[in-house]
């Protein structure tokens, strides 16, 4: 299946570079370009892309508000933020607005393409270092708001492939306490086993790459 991409950036050179980059990849089609967030909202309605590659700082309407409007009107459209801004507050605001991924413009072609494919299937993707930083700072809550901080911590270790005894040793907890947290976490995530929980954790940027 060909992925239809809409490029949104107020710099023509950036859009041209992205179009050139994506044009070399099989299974991807750039269906349009927008120079600001307001135009992106309009173009989305007409072009119906699968993924919007969205800048944040633009005239008329910024990328976060555009993301919020696109996701509200067309929830089937995934938005991948591609920006120079690497501060945590902006990242969290973008995720709350409905962005499925957040990459810095320094990302390579393979990283961008992998992120596009991931968000198109409903996964959440954060750039290299961003996921680890968010987890370390305890700011992963907006991604999995139903979990407690301890449950998110345990989910990260489950995503790493660790068993109950190893998790208990790592977190200085009893195996019983870990098991209780796992049971609660499974119920909140709507899964029945560790494998399913591991998949969800990986989809949200937890665990080893």
Tell me if 117 sits within 8 A of 3, measured CB to CB.
yes
Q: Which of 128, 157, 188 is the last residue of a domain?
A: 128
Same structural domain, 36 and 121: yes
pLDDT for res 141: 44
Is the domain of 151 the same as that of 90? no
At 93, list the tokens: 């605001």
Say what the pLDDT of residue 44 is. 97
The pLDDT of 99-114, averaged and rounded, is 86
* Per-residue pLDDT tens digits for 61-79: 999 999 999 999 998 999 9
- C-alpha 3/C-alpha 20 separation (Å) is 16
Q: How many domains does the chain have?
A: 2
Give the whole-angstrom CA distance, residue 203 versus residue 134.
Answer: 15
136 found inside a domain: no
Same domain, 9 and 80: yes
Of the residues 79, 98, 128, which one is the last residue of a structural domain?
A: 128
Asked whether the beta carbons of 169 and 162 are under 8 A apart, the reply is no
In a shared domain, residues 89 and 35: yes
pLDDT of 138 reads 52
Within a domain: residue 208? no
Task: Please tell me the least confidently modeled range out of 53-67, 93-107, 121-135.
Answer: 121-135
CATH code: domain of residue 22:
3.40.50.2300
Same structural domain, 27 and 96: yes
pLDDT at 52 over 90: yes
The residue segments making up the domain with residue 86 are 3-128
189: its two tokens: 């995530």
How far is 83 from 91, CA to CA, in rounded Å?
A: 10
Position 139 in a domain: no
Is a pLDDT exceeding 90 seen at residue 145? no
Residue 45 pLDDT: 96
Q: What is the CATH number of the domain that holds 155?
A: 1.10.10.10
End position of a domain, from candidates 72, 93, 128 = 128
pTM above 0.85, yes or no: no
Residue 132: pLDDT above 70? no
Assign 14 a pLDDT band (cuts: 50, 70, 90).
very high
């Amino acid at each position: 299946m060909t992925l239809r991409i809409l490029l949104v950036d107020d710099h023509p050179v950036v859009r041209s570079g992205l179009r050139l980059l994506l044009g070399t990849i099989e299974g991807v089609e750039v269906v349009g370009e927008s120079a600001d967030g307001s135009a992106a909202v309009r173009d989305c309605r007409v072009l119906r892309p699968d993924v919007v590659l969205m800048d944040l700082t633009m005239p008329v309407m910024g990328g976060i508000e555009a993301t919020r409007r696109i996701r509200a009107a067309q929830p089937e459209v995934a938005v991948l933020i591609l920006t120079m801004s690497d501060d945590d507050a902006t990242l969290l605001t973008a995720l709350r607005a409905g962005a499925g991924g957040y990459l810095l413009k320094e990302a390579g072609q393979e990283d961008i393409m992998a992120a596009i494919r991931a968000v198109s299937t409903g996964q959440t993707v954060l750039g290299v270092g961003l996921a680890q930083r968010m987890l370390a700072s305890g700011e992963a809550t907006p991604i999995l708001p139903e979990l407690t901080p301890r449950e998110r911590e345990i989910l990260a270790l489950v995503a790493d492939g660790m068993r109950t005894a190893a998790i208990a040793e790592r977190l200085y907890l009893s195996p019983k306490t870990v098991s209780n947290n796992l049971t609660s976490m499974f119920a909140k995530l709507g899964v029945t086993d560790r494998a399913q929980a591991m998949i969800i954790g990986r989809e949200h940027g937890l665990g080893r790459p």
